[in-house]
Amino acid sequence: MTERSQRHELSFTRIIDAPRDEIFRCWTEEELLKQWFAPLPWTVSAAKIDIRAGGKTRYTATVLHWSAEDREAHEKMGFRQGWAQCAEQLAALTAKI
């Protein structure tokens, strides 16, 4: 990663203390994904997931901005807070299923 891309990138990492099978269900079952993948009060209106046996899934979320100023504006708008809320919603959902 270059210094320039680091100035334009936002990332979020969270460890969720839940059984792997429940996390997997929340990422791979459309109705469960729709319950947590957007910070409330926003919602996911549609989700289409195609998990095939024998396949592998890798998820990477990266947000690149045109400028450092755009990145800073997005961060001030609540980038980390929004994804933190989604992570909390995922953790709460895994506790219910």
The structural domains of the chain, with segments of one domain joined by +, span: 3-46+55-96
Q: Is 39 helix (H, G, I), strand (E, B) or coil?
A: coil
Of 7 and 74, the structure prediction assigns the larger pLDDT to: 74
For residue 14, give both structure tokens: 């969270």
CA–chain centroid gap for 6, Å, is 19
Q: Is the separation of the CB atoms in 33 and 44 below 8 Å?
A: yes
Buried b (16+ CB within 10 A) or exposed e, 75-94: eeeebeebbebbbebbbebb
Q: pTM for this structure?
A: 0.66
d(CA 44, CA 34): 5
Q: What is the pLDDT of residues 67-91, one digit of tens each?
A: 989 888 988 988 888 888 888 898 8
Domain 3-46+55-96 belongs to what topology? Alpha-D-Glucose-1,6-Bisphosphate; Chain A, domain 4 (3.30.530)
